[in-house]
Structure 1
Amino acid sequence: GEPSDIEPAPLESTEEQDGVGRLTFTVDPLLAPVVAEAEGLEEGDPPRPLGRLQAPDGSASDLVLGELVVTSSDRGLVEDFAARYDGEIVDEFPTDGDRPTDYLVRILPPDADLTVLAERLVALEPEQQGRFAASSGDLLALMAVAAAETGDDLEIGLNWVAKPFAIEDGSAMEAPDRSPRNAFLWPYIASGTAQDIGVDAAWRLLAGSGRLDNRVRILIVDGGFQGNPDLPDAVEMVRGEWGNPHPVGCGKGSDCPWHGTDVALAAVAQLDNEYGAVGPGGPVAELYLFQQYADSWKTLRRVKKVVADKDIDVVNMSYGWDVKVFKSASEKAAQRHLNDMKKAGAIVFAAAGNDGLDIDSSTCIGNACSEISLTIPCETEAAICVGGMGWNTAFKAGGSNYGNDTGNKSVDIYGPYCVFSLNDPDKAYNENATRVACGTSFASPFLAGVAALVKAADPSLTPDQIWAILRDTAHQGGVGFDLVISGNQRRVNAAAAVAKALGVELGAPEVTITKPVDGKKLTINDFPEFAGTATEFTGLPLPILWASDIDGPLSDEPKMGTVATTALSPGVHTITATAVDVRGQVGTAQITVEVVNQPPEVGISWPLPGAKVFEGNDVDPIGQTKDPDTFGPLDDSSVYWQVFRKSDNKFIGGGLGHNESVDANLLEPGSYAVRFVAEDGSITVVATSSFTVLDVPPGESVPFVYIEKPDQDQVFGAGNANPATIEFAGSAFDSQDGQLSGTRLRWVATSEQGSEIVLCRGSSFPADPYPEPETIGDIAIPPQPPKIGVFKSCASFTYDLGLDPTSGTVTT
């Protein structure tokens, strides 16, 4: 293959920058680890609880609660530290010589002082800033102990939980010059792209089934190997030396000194190391490198021996030789060696070449036709010959060879022609940059990496069985663009291949709602919590997006665990839980919940039924409401008054609000009905009362009365059921008698329930302020001789007034 510096259009970046400038901590109960518990430290030990810490950049890590990793050269110091927190040393890793020892200490941390935690953490790590969120206070308490106790010979850290390859959370961060850096979004890795290879789903399938720990031995036969951080930890050079460039060019005058390095990375570059690129076989590969010989004989003989000696599972040969004469002998010899590799347990992949030609083209002399040349090892039955698809398309890349034969000696399958690789493998430890490398030399090892995933899914599979799975699950057709290709048009489908090896259906996510129950009734003031589970075909959990058909989305993004929402609108809601898997498949579950608008409590504080007023007085009704859904009164716009004269049912007056005033000029003597109407949504509640307007006797006038203290609508608190001491002051004026004495005033408090309390009654106030007309003398009754020694004025006084003792309601 020929490396290419021509990059495709970059994918859109999804990175965001955190602008928080100070260090703070918070507890977020919705933050949860991927799993709640870790296995016990030793076999038979109980499981250990986990917590999750989210950093300011939004990334999250899980850790074991109650455990610290302590490094010290003095065991006594560690024992004293553990004793201070009722803890113990539960494990240790002794080191050689005078180096300190690592201890695992289990403690019971006290509650954390978050201010001190922030100060200590900044002292230890001055670069820290932003907002940390913890799944529990216990986690912050553990951090506080670590920060407080770290000293000269006591280095303390948390017991982090390993997260293999970031496959479970659907991300793998690679070189910073890629946009996006998340390899799960790259067009030849992701599901649902034009190529739809689905390596992301294949990785998650292995993670969900617990097969990522299965090791697969991959042999790369090539030239020009340079060490770099993107190779697996398990790598062995079985022939050749590191740093020896490829001794020959890559054809068409192209220089490719590190061709073997690019080929190896296309197959097994490591995931989520924030470096370089990624290959499909990275999570499972043990890598073996073989510096090929110049001649095919020696290479095939030695490779065959390595396959047997090293128990190789997958072989890649991104090279070939064109046989012009004695083609049959060359083909048979190569076939024998390759078959021996298959018998030893290895499936072999070979590149189709980069001339843009039909490798099956033939020449005919009379009726005798044969191929012009053979590309070995591609055109053998024992090798899987791999062509290349263009960048982010299913069409064949222009430079890729192809075939017009549907047999097993032609191009068998297509992979991505272009992949990301290191910009300069010779500077691998001095820079972290990538380029696009193109050629079937990279399509072939990519298929080898996919084959390794299939082998990891089921280690018992033979080479023929692996190829049968790749062949039968491949996408079919769509390779031809500007030419007709009558040969094989299989396109690799990693997700389907691994799923078939595991016996898993690539179905939509299974979603279950666990809370609340279907048909649950809620009130408006309820703040419901929604919880459920969503499982991908991989067996891994998925976050859930919650929505109501009335209120719309209930969370701003899909979330794991329980989602707390604000109050829902009244009505019957269809709640939908939606999960989307790595392939874009959607799973949903639905329940209904009914949000009930509870009827408000409505009452008339004044006038009470049968109240009396003299003609010429305004009537000022006072109403009270309480909405049990909001724990407060209804809005004034939701209540109104109606006053009718009983004799002819004539509407006299009314209006919006809890307080109303009916002008005296509208009120002639007689009986009146009062309606106080409250409307809360579709619910209407009515309270009724009545009053009578009395004739003013001839020659008399009605006093004018004024409340000076307290202020209108003033509110007093009755804390702990203790009454409030209130100062009252008022006055009255009569056009005949002038200023009236305070002995002729009476004060009454009325609760929402209509209970009355006489706060003060002047000594000259009549027993019946509204006598029958034939018995009345003076409306403003002359001072009556008080009892001996009794003289009481109600012009001003104080009163300890509390809630209505019968109902606990507000008093007016």
Structure 2
Amino acid sequence: MSTHSKHPSHDSRGRRAPLSTLAMCLLGALLLSGSLTGCGSESPPPPTIEVDQTIVPPVTSLPSFDGVDERPVATIEDEDGNRGEFVSNELWLSVHDDAEVDALVERWNGDVLVTFDPMSHGLDASGMPKQYLVRVDTAAADLTNLATDLQSIDASATGAHAVSSEQGLELIAIAAQEASAGAAVGMNWVGNGADYRSQRVEEAPAGDVLVDDYDRNAFTWPTHSVGSTQNIGVAEAWRLLDIAGRLDNRVTLAVLDGGFAPDRDFSDDWDSISNIPFRDAIGTENLFKCSGGGDCPYHGTNSASAAMALPDNRFGSAGPGGPVAKPLFVLTAPDMFTSVTALGKARLKGAKIANMSYRVPVPVVLAWSVLPFDAATAAFHQTGMLLFASAGNAGENVDHSKGLFGIEVETTWHTPCENAGVICVGGLRTNSLERDPSSNYGKKQVDIFAPFSFLLGPDPERPDNWAQRKQGTSFSSPFVAGIAALIWAADPSLTADEVERALIDTARPSADKRVRRVVNALDAVLSVIGEAPPSILFDSLEDGDRIQLNSEVFLSATVEDLEDGIPCCTVAWSSDVDGSLASGEGFVGFYHAFETPGSQTLTVTATDSDSETTVHSVSIDVFNTPPTVEISTPEPGAMTFVNYPYVLRATGFDVNEPDQRLDCESLVWTSDVASDPFPQTGCTVPVEFSSVGLRTIFVTGTDPQGRSATTEATLAVMSAPPNLPPAVTITSPNAYENINYGSTITLSGAASDPEASGTLVYTWTAHWDTSSVVLGKSREVQWRPRDTIPFLDYDDGDVIQVQLRLDVRDQEGNVGSDAVWLRFSVIK
């Protein structure tokens, strides 16, 4: 295995456990000079590798590069039962000199399948050589020197091994022969799958159970919440980024996998790359088996969901990176050379983070064959990419070692988990800080732990809008990758090493000695943002709300602070039109009437005890509703007489004015007869008409802002009879006057008889719905409305229209009348 630091910039995290002191010497000598002298004395028994055709690879081949030749897969098993797959006719060559490639191709009757040039993928500064994937003719292999070659590479190599095919054994022999001669050569190993502030988001309406009954609010999920046993705080990290205004910082996150079928649970700006010739990136099912040999055709969709499913879209799940991640779906075969080319393509697409939810355990006897892949992942890390990989689901210690001749030798290299430059992620029991029994672990190489069980979004096998429970470190790894995206969104200027440092330094410990550290999303984001500013959430307003002019509305906001709690802070409200509105300590809400129509911006500023300030604004439209006008006199079909006193009555209504009425001076009366005595203003206008005939009376009401409304009524003016009826005017109450129906009011009126012929008889009546009641027989009457009208028979909020009528009869029996309308709102 690699003897350099797994994460060169973070030596405090520990270096890779060496295969052995002897192995370190041998590998260093091989890589630097090809010389194997001076590396110990006593050697263990040589390793053996035999063909065992009862061993069956999970898949027999990988897709071809040319559309013709499939790429055969073989499996090797060590004496502890660890199995790893590799392409059984491909060598991985890492060289600066093209002549070495040509020579190897000629020796083994081979051809170059793929060339990866680091310079063209932005890896100039890494010093990484060109990488070549070479198909070789294994029939020319010499098996007689295999054990000798393996021990010349690593003198501690030993143990019994079995391989699934003769071709696989031949490929190992060729690779060992080349490596023992000093070539930087490896084998191509094949892995298998392993919308905030309100604290309320809505995912799929139904789903599986993690701990308690399913709740569609991801703020309550044990994998996301604050206060659960795991206390990872993903949802609160979203909220913090929202408060800090960082959710617009996009971070490209690549998922290297197979089986991508993006739906509306992913951001619309997703992109895709097919790294497999003749296969579409989207819709091609996963080409390999998952842990335990099971099919997982949409493993990539599930992994991406764990990383960056969109929150608060009432669909599917919610991945940590959902609010900020730009998804990049990279269809790739699970072999490690293809992984390197996939990383290169992802880097050119702007990926800052890449996840690889697959692994292969390489027996120690072939650990040298992983060195080209190890160097490649280190180079990508060096150029600023964060790489994540799953630890695996075999419940194994990836650091497991055996004592040989007094030296501890690690038995298996789990790649890419243990590669340099890769953050390896293990899994925790549900809502626990203990390792899930199925998760691999390792004090030195499994860097961080996250949940093992997740609620994930739909896939083509389960397309309904359901949050489905799935398990595995295949999802633990992208979950942490999504958290890394949150950290980068909090501060896009951070380097990859600084983002990794935030992940590691804020992780919390576990009492489980097999759990190195547990990811902490909220503290990681906090460590980057610094002191958390207050949170402001408008309670009574939303952006674009329309508010009536001059109408009192209650303005309120919830202001809280992670450090100060609720209530907190000095809070100030202001408007870009009305200026300062209100302020105070822990101030919540107040009533305000907006007096200027048009758009304006309301701003709430909150300052916490550490002088951290948050400003939150909302745009409103203060609108002026046009007035309405109602004519109560004349009524339909009314008539009067020429040169006879007559009273016109109208009321202007305006929800934007005090008592919702227009001032009487705003009402202007006109007529379609030129000789009529108009224009006049007022709610009550006494007139006399000098000519007979039918005329249309108009009244126009205009509010202070200049909006107006006009209504009309017809009135017939007749020739005066020999004996005219009394002229009658109600002087109290006024039309539509606000009256409490429990209060006693005075009804008063005036009447005059043109002939002055004697005593006048007054009769007051009230009319509503289909009922009428006589209220009194004098010019003035005391009346309490509730004594007459059965208000209790109506529902709360009902509006009852009542007509008060005054009829006056003279001695000759002629009757003159006047009427006003009143309106009562029922309150219970």
Which band: TM-score by shorter chain? 0.3 to 0.5
In the superposition, the TM-score normalised over structure 1's length comes to 0.42
In the superposition, the TM-score normalised over structure 2's length comes to 0.41
